[in-house]
Structure 1
Amino acid sequence: MQTCLFELNVWQTADGSVLVVLRGMGYVTSEHNDIIHIFDEPGDEAVSREDIVVYPASTCVSSWKILVVDDDVDVHEATEFALRKVTILGRKLELIHAYSGEEGNRVFNANSDIAVLLLDVVMEEEHAGLQLVRQLREQGHHKPRIILRTGHPGYAPESRIIRDYDINDYRTKDELTRTRLITTLTASIRAYDYINMLEQTRSGLELIIESTRDLYHRRSFDLFAQGVLVQLAALLHLEPEGAICAIGPAQGDDSAIKQLPIIAGLGRFSEQIGLDIASLPGIDVEALSRLPFNDHEPVLIGKSIAMRFAANKDRELLVYFEHAGGIEKDSISLLRLFSGNLALCFENLALINRLDELAFVDQKLGIPNHNAYFRKLSDIIDIHNKDCHVALVAIDEAPQFAVAFGMEFIDRVILAVHSRMKVMIGKDIFVARLGEFRLAVIDESCTIGEAILSSVFDHAFVIDDNNITLSATIGVVREGVKNYESVAVDRAVRTTLLRATQKTPGRAMLYTPDLEENIARSVQLRGGLHDALRNGDIQFHFQPQLALNSGALIGAEVLARWTFNGTPVSPGYFIPLAEKSGLISELTFQALRAVGRFVAKRKAQALPEIRVSLNLSVSDINQKEFIPQLLKNVRDADLTPATLQFEITESFAVHGASDALVAINKLKDAGFRLSLDDFGTGFSSLSYLDHLPIDEVKIDRSFVSPLQVVTARQSIAASTQTIADNLGLEVLAEGVETVEQHQILRFIGVKFVQGFLYGRPMTEADFMTWEQNWDMAKVVNQ
């Protein structure tokens, strides 16, 4: 073993500290022939004061980590000695030592950010260094630069090693002078730093893409503002001293930026949300107000970053970010890219919010609309699984007001009701406009009921300086809805309002499950009735009408019968259903054809001619084209006034319009008799008897059923007979079911009767059989 000679240099600095430099004069040789030159060769620059950099203890500068893996202790000491005080690219070197390939693997994985690996080949095994290279690369460590240095080139030929192993430099120990060692390390560290920079740029780009995706998914300005600050801090790898994101209306005036409200804040501004920018301490508002719009360029103001954008000329975004650290050049480039993407995200969000306003806000009144109602209801019930009370309020007078004063007046009415609801029930209650004449109310506190909603209309509303009295029909859902989902609750409250409109207009109704079942059955029956008319499944029966004194058959009434899914449906239910569904005309025409077949069959059998009564719907008579169509169908069925007469209900007599009166006069002019059905069940119908072109009055069964001998002359039936006699009208009593009723009607002078006592509604064949066996005496004398 040879001995080294060293030169000792001692200098004193201006502040009195002492620097000691040990300078080698020769070389050392180990018994294994591992030679490392750490001395300057002739021509190399000697170590000078400029080579030595002293770092104050307070300076926090990260160092380059160098892992030295060699089984020779002298190599470690020599490398340590040679690289003392050396800086590369402005940073110190930190040497980490391992003495075998196995230890090198363990130490490497225990230390992050190792830049360069100085690796011996021959250690505990002949190829221990090469095995370590393979292991590290297979573990995914591709950034660190590996410099292979060996004292035994024969064991690891350079050409083969460079070809077969992922190393970055190959040196023999005897050629690595101090200068060459530093040069080699500098090149390797520069390459490592460049790889890091590329990776950071790639990570930054990935972060920008991810942040853009995140910001695009934020659908409210507050969430968007929070996301902007979080993503900006992550992109710059900086902790914000203070950061704000402010969003508000864009006014174009530079001073208007002072009034922008703060939507999100970090650091020292985290408690300032809701304030405007002018109220924040330590911010150069004047500098911010001079920021340009829409050039997508971040502006550095001292140790802060500012960005300002406008979207659709009606929204403005200001981002202000304070930091304590430095911003690298590559971060500035990424920041520009982020700024451009941020502008696009903001424009997208502003557009979405504008579309939200169009979709969820009534554009005339600025209050929530039907879409907002559905979203609110779904958010409460489907997303948060909470209970709520829901009501629909229909303003009864609104349709008439719309015709009389126009929809602009209705808009003011709706707004007035909306405002009073918010005042009386509470500002937190949700009130939306549903259609032209209705409002929807959602109460998350579950306190509203029918009474408080009805009380909204107790006092007049002042609209256009006029006192307007309103009433409303209200449906309320508090509980009892099966399958508690927003769709089910909405269906329940609509069902309740519909039933309230039908049964108790002008009042509030509370939902009960049977309401929905009735509506569901109504929907089923409506579809079934449509199919039945199309398929000819409606049957028509005939009930006899008789002369009370003689028992002679003088006519019949045609009556529709329908069976749905094996169950008979009452005419009192499906006839009004047909009227509401627009199917009544087809039902009338089918009944007319059935009468034609009935009359034709009687004629073919040489039976006496009788007149058949057919009911006409008020809704049909009010249609101008109905009477011409009816008369055409009459001719097609080969019917005449001698075999057909028409019945109109008393509701027509009370509410019939002048056009409808003209229509029935056309029937009278065509020679057909007219009968007033259900007489006495309406209002003020007596005043119509003297000018309606009717020939007969039918006393309703409700006045026949209570007849008693002792009160017969004071009964409505007796009064009706007297009035009819004075007006020259015939009277027919329907619904006669007992012999006593028969005798009383005969006593008060009624001449014609109809009812179960004589015969039920029958098919054509059954009617013919009944007629052959009919005997009044057998009935009244039983």
Structure 2
Amino acid sequence: MSLGGQDELAFAAEHSGTGQAQRCWRILIVDDEPDVHQATTFALKGEIILDRPLEFLHAYNGDEALQLLSRESDIAVVLLDVVMQGDEDGLTVARAIRQQLNLNEIRIVLRTGHPGYAPEYRVIRDFGINDYKTKSELTQIRLQTTLTTAIRSYQQLKAMNTSRRGLEMIVEASSTLFERRSPESFASGALIQLAALLGLPPGGLICMRQPATPARRHKCEWMIASAAGDMQRLIGKPLTELDDAIVVNAIEHALRSRSSLYDDRFLVLYLNRMRDQEAAVYLPTQQALSDEDRQLLEVFCANLAIGFENVALFRQLQELAYIDPLTHLPNRTQFVSQLDRILKQPVGNELVLMLDVAHFSQINDALGHLIGDQLLQSVAQRLRPFIAPTVTLARVGVDVFGLVGPLPDMQLGALFESFERPFAVASHRLRVQVVSAAAHLADTEPTGIGCLKDVTIALNQAKRAEDGKLMWYSPAMSRASRQRLDLLHDLESAIRQRQLTVYYQPQIELDSGAIVGVEALVRWPQPDGSFIPPDRFIPLAEQSGLIIELGTWLLDTVCQQLIAWRDAGLSELRVAINVSMVQFNHEGLIDLLGDTLERYHLPHELIEVEITESVAMTRPEDVIAKIARLKALGVSVAIDDFGTGFSSLAYLQKLGADRLKIDRAFIRDMGLGENPYSIAEMVINLGHKLGIKVIAEGVESPAQATLLRSLGCDEAQGYLFAKPSPPSPLTHWFLETGMQVAV
């Protein structure tokens, strides 16, 4: 129970009771928290309800409550905690009250301290729950109101024990009505049950307040939700269109006075417990009702009010489950359900389309989430005119919209053209591009979630393509995606089980022929003796984050091999290790290098870090700072694939790299064309002007080596000198040939 705030709970003023002889309404409080007992009794101290004071009984668990109920009589209301020692103790007690003790008159008010918890409608229906509230809702006023309603219901049930037929009809009608989920269906059923309860032919109407909308400028209208007999034609129309002035005046009087109205010819029942909503029931009777009939109606109306409230709750939950609150479009869940419904039928020319708002995160970052939300609302608004009744439009992701329907009804050309106009959002005019992918339902998996997955695969490919073209899904995309996933799983297993290996390719000083180092290359051998190419598994490792674990393993393996070579007399052999963008940007790279080299007691200069030119060009200031830290550690740095990027001379000078590595594409073309070595010559001259050594990779012929030597290239590696090899045969080759290791 909430005890805070002047508006939430004003403690009841203390006053003397009227004596023990006066009959009381007996209230049983069932809760495992003593504070709840104390707060409830204190809030209701001295309260008079329906001319009687209150008497409180207390139970602190389910067993104690049932024992008390079995020996005490005339308990009117049970204020029952849902969650006590167990998550459903309260529901167990409610079940026992109705099914074991057969106490059908006692009123049960469920209370819970868990705002997110709500019993299913069948629980409310089957256990005869009078009300359900969170403890924070039950302020003094609301507690008084809840108890008054419950006690009145109990009093009426007690008084009508002699009218079993009417009571049974009420219970049966309520059970039937509680299964209706929409307000319109519930209202229609209520009219039918009311007429049957009073033995009247179907007739009358139920009107409900229509919530205000921007289109109605905050004006609330009374709408006819259901009608029977001659009034059936008025369903869905405003009450003002009813041309019977007597009926209209009677309904309006009941609404103004917030009370029911009984006339010799008709009755108007006022319902006011529908989550801040109201409703009125008009029923022609053509005769005055007896007191017993009125009592039956009062009880039935109490159930009707709760029923309407539950219907409103179900609708709200349904909207939360299936409607996107920002755009008011169907959400991903409803879109998948719609796909499921379509796919259960024979598939024709239906198409599913996904639209991704390009660079939406940048708009959010630059202009704020409020502008981003308004942009998404504007996109949804612009898409709506292109949506035929046969097409479903939904928001299936943060910045992704989905459409499904027959291809002829899609208007794809006009839809894409609509994005050529800028969007006016607040004071901004934003030009928005969309990345799009589509699939014929016949080509996708036969389930909604599977279909959406397939189109998402195509959408991701469209994002990578960045050409603005609509990407069409094909089953081959899913096969490739599954293969990538399987490969990723196998790669993770291979890393953990140390199934990868490292090959080394020598790097040669061109002038002397001495070995200056080796490049470490990760290889993934298969049981059949084949290898999975690095260009297949390295990108996967980068995308999944496994590259960090792979890099740690590689560094350990290289250090162990360096120790083995030092023991074999190859103490000055430098090893170049390729570092991807993910690894280079990782905060722990410097510490990992330093800690590992210290652990193996190796000179830091034996390790060279190779980064590609594209990595070097990313966030220049950060790259320059990190290279400086690497060099301070004693590690050398090489720029790989040089010549394929757009490094400026000034930036290259600031990098402080030790080597430039000419990309193999420029070496392969040497000796061809009119000026075949212009790029290689430019890189060599540039490196020498900056005091940076230059190494060429992919050297495969003596002619290439001779030409590179004549151009002044410092070092080279390639098949001309040696292929990448496992460490053992490479070590034998070093020792047997007596190849000199440069110092």
Matched residue, 2:614: 651
2:551 paired residue among 581, 584, 588? 588
Does residue 209 of structure 2 align to residue 248 of structure 1?
yes
Measure how far apart 1:694 and its partner are: 0.9
Counterpart Cα distance in 1 of 2:392 and 2:322? 13
Counterpart Cα distance in 2 of 1:699 and 1:449? 51
1:676 paired residue among 624, 639, 645? 639
Matched residue, 2:422: 460
After superposition, the Cα gap between the structure-2 partners of 1:749 and 1:466, relative to the gap in structure 1 and judged at 3 Å, is same
SS in 2 for 1:725: helix
SS in 2 for 1:291: helix
Counterpart Cα distance in 2 of 1:225 and 1:740? 93
Q: Is the 8 Å Cα contact of residues 611 and 639 (structure 2) preserved in structure 1?
A: yes
Structure (1 or 2) with the larger CA radius of gyration: 1
Q: Which amino acid aligns with 2:501?
A: Q
**Offset from partner CA, 1:263-294 (integer Å, 9 cap, x none):** 33322222322211111233611111122699
Matched residue, 2:355: 393
After superposition, the Cα gap between the structure-2 partners of 1:457 and 1:606, relative to the gap in structure 1 and judged at 3 Å, is same
Counterpart Cα distance in 1 of 2:668 and 2:605? 31
Write the mapping of 1:366-405 to structure 2, written as runs, cut at 5 A. Answer: 366-378=328-340, 380-381=342-343, 388-405=350-367
Does residue 496 of structure 2 align to residue 534 of structure 1?
yes
Q: Is the 8 Å Cα contact of residues 264 and 273 (structure 1) preserved in structure 2?
A: yes
Q: Is the 8 Å Cα contact of residues 294 and 310 (structure 1) preserved in structure 2?
A: no
Q: Is the 8 Å Cα contact of residues 422 and 429 (structure 1) preserved in structure 2?
A: no
Measure how far apart 1:611 and its partner are: 0.8
Q: Which amino acid aligns with 1:470?
A: V
Q: Is the 8 Å Cα contact of residues 621 and 627 (structure 1) preserved in structure 2?
A: no
Q: Is the 8 Å Cα contact of residues 250 and 313 (structure 1) preserved in structure 2?
A: no
**Offset from partner CA, 1:360-416 (integer Å, 9 cap, x none):** 444455554444444554555569989854333332232122222221111111111
2:250 paired residue among 282, 287, 299? 287
Counterpart Cα distance in 1 of 2:458 and 2:277? 43
Q: Is the 8 Å Cα contact of residues 257 and 277 (structure 1) preserved in structure 2?
A: no
After superposition, the Cα gap between the structure-2 partners of 1:685 and 1:532, relative to the gap in structure 1 and judged at 3 Å, is farther
Does residue 432 of structure 2 align to residue 470 of structure 1?
yes
Matched residue, 1:447: 409
Does residue 534 of structure 2 align to residue 571 of structure 1?
yes
Does residue 500 of structure 2 align to residue 500 of structure 1?
no
After superposition, the Cα gap between the structure-2 partners of 1:312 and 1:425, relative to the gap in structure 1 and judged at 3 Å, is same
Matched residue, 1:630: 593
Counterpart Cα distance in 1 of 2:692 and 2:411? 53
Q: Is the 8 Å Cα contact of residues 449 and 476 (structure 1) preserved in structure 2?
A: no
1:340 paired residue among 302, 316, 321? 302
After superposition, the Cα gap between the structure-2 partners of 1:286 and 1:313, relative to the gap in structure 1 and judged at 3 Å, is farther
Q: Is the 8 Å Cα contact of residues 509 and 715 (structure 2) preserved in structure 1?
A: yes
Write the mapping of 1:124-143 to structure 2, written as runs, cut at 5 A. Answer: none
After superposition, the Cα gap between the structure-2 partners of 1:766 and 1:415, relative to the gap in structure 1 and judged at 3 Å, is same
1:414 paired residue among 365, 376, 386? 376
Measure how far apart 1:744 and its partner are: 4.5
After superposition, the Cα gap between the structure-2 partners of 1:391 and 1:258, relative to the gap in structure 1 and judged at 3 Å, is closer
After superposition, the Cα gap between the structure-2 partners of 1:469 and 1:618, relative to the gap in structure 1 and judged at 3 Å, is same
Q: Is the 8 Å Cα contact of residues 244 and 319 (structure 1) preserved in structure 2?
A: yes
After superposition, the Cα gap between the structure-2 partners of 1:583 and 1:462, relative to the gap in structure 1 and judged at 3 Å, is same
**Offset from partner CA, 1:148-185 (integer Å, 9 cap, x none):** xxxxxxxxxxxxxxxxxxxxxxxxxxxxxxxxxxxxxx
- In the superposition, the TM-score normalised over structure 2's length comes to 0.69
Counterpart Cα distance in 2 of 1:391 and 1:626? 42
Matched residue, 1:758: 721
Matched residue, 1:698: 661
Write the mapping of 1:609-624 to structure 2, written as runs, cut at 5 A. Answer: 609-624=572-587
Counterpart Cα distance in 2 of 1:524 and 1:597? 31
SS in 2 for 1:689: helix
Q: Which amino acid aligns with 1:484?
A: P
Does residue 278 of structure 2 align to residue 310 of structure 1?
no
Q: Is the 8 Å Cα contact of residues 277 and 285 (structure 1) preserved in structure 2?
A: yes
Q: Is the 8 Å Cα contact of residues 731 and 750 (structure 1) preserved in structure 2?
A: yes
SS in 2 for 1:690: helix
After superposition, the Cα gap between the structure-2 partners of 1:753 and 1:394, relative to the gap in structure 1 and judged at 3 Å, is same
**Offset from partner CA, 1:312-347 (integer Å, 9 cap, x none):** 553233333346799787665544433222111111
Matched residue, 1:238: 200
Q: Is the 8 Å Cα contact of residues 454 and 478 (structure 2) preserved in structure 1?
A: yes
**Offset from partner CA, 1:107-154 (integer Å, 9 cap, x none):** xxxxxxxxxxxxxxxxxxxxxxxxxxxxxxxxxxxxxxxxxxxxxxxx
**Offset from partner CA, 1:428-455 (integer Å, 9 cap, x none):** 7544444543333344676337655533
Counterpart Cα distance in 1 of 2:199 and 2:483? 66
Does residue 506 of structure 2 align to residue 544 of structure 1?
yes
Which consecutive residues of structure 2, in runs of 5 or more, have no partner in the other structure? 1-159, 213-217
Counterpart Cα distance in 1 of 2:281 and 2:486? 59
Matched residue, 2:317: 355
Measure how far apart 1:583 and its partner are: 2.4
Q: Which amino acid aligns with 2:474?
A: T
- In the superposition, the TM-score normalised over structure 1's length comes to 0.66
Q: Is the 8 Å Cα contact of residues 623 and 655 (structure 2) preserved in structure 1?
A: no
Q: Is the 8 Å Cα contact of residues 298 and 336 (structure 1) preserved in structure 2?
A: no
Does residue 171 of structure 2 align to residue 209 of structure 1?
yes
Measure how far apart 1:644 and its partner are: 1.4
Q: Is the 8 Å Cα contact of residues 697 and 718 (structure 2) preserved in structure 1?
A: yes
SS in 1 for 2:655: coil
Identity %: 29
SS in 2 for 1:731: strand
Q: Which amino acid aligns with 1:664?
A: I
Measure how far apart 1:580 and its partner are: 2.3
Q: Is the 8 Å Cα contact of residues 274 and 308 (structure 2) preserved in structure 1?
A: no
After superposition, the Cα gap between the structure-2 partners of 1:357 and 1:311, relative to the gap in structure 1 and judged at 3 Å, is farther
Deviates more, 1:342-351 or 1:300-309: 300-309
Counterpart Cα distance in 1 of 2:256 and 2:275? 10
Measure how far apart 1:646 and its partner are: 1.0
Q: Is the 8 Å Cα contact of residues 544 and 761 (structure 1) preserved in structure 2?
A: yes
Q: Which amino acid aligns with 1:531?
A: S
Counterpart Cα distance in 1 of 2:545 and 2:444? 32
Measure how far apart 1:634 and its partner are: 2.4
Matched residue, 1:259: 221
Measure how far apart 1:491 and its partner are: 1.4
Q: Is the 8 Å Cα contact of residues 294 and 309 (structure 1) preserved in structure 2?
A: no
2:476 paired residue among 500, 506, 514? 514
Q: Which amino acid aligns with 1:244?
A: L
Q: Which amino acid aligns with 1:248?
A: R
Greater relative contact order structure (CA < 8 Å, 6+ sep)? 2
Q: Which amino acid aligns with 1:422?
A: R
After superposition, the Cα gap between the structure-2 partners of 1:680 and 1:453, relative to the gap in structure 1 and judged at 3 Å, is farther
After superposition, the Cα gap between the structure-2 partners of 1:377 and 1:738, relative to the gap in structure 1 and judged at 3 Å, is same
Q: Is the 8 Å Cα contact of residues 225 and 264 (structure 1) preserved in structure 2?
A: yes
Deviates more, 1:355-364 or 1:579-588: 355-364
Q: Is the 8 Å Cα contact of residues 224 and 237 (structure 2) preserved in structure 1?
A: yes
**Offset from partner CA, 1:527-580 (integer Å, 9 cap, x none):** 333333333233222122223455432211111122578774332232222222
Counterpart Cα distance in 2 of 1:446 and 1:586? 51
Q: Which amino acid aligns with 1:698?
A: K
SS in 1 for 2:419: coil
Q: Which amino acid aligns with 1:416?
A: S
SS in 2 for 1:238: coil
Counterpart Cα distance in 2 of 1:710 and 1:259? 84
Which consecutive residues of structure 1, in runs of 5 or more, have no partner in the other structure? 1-197, 777-782
After superposition, the Cα gap between the structure-2 partners of 1:384 and 1:481, relative to the gap in structure 1 and judged at 3 Å, is closer
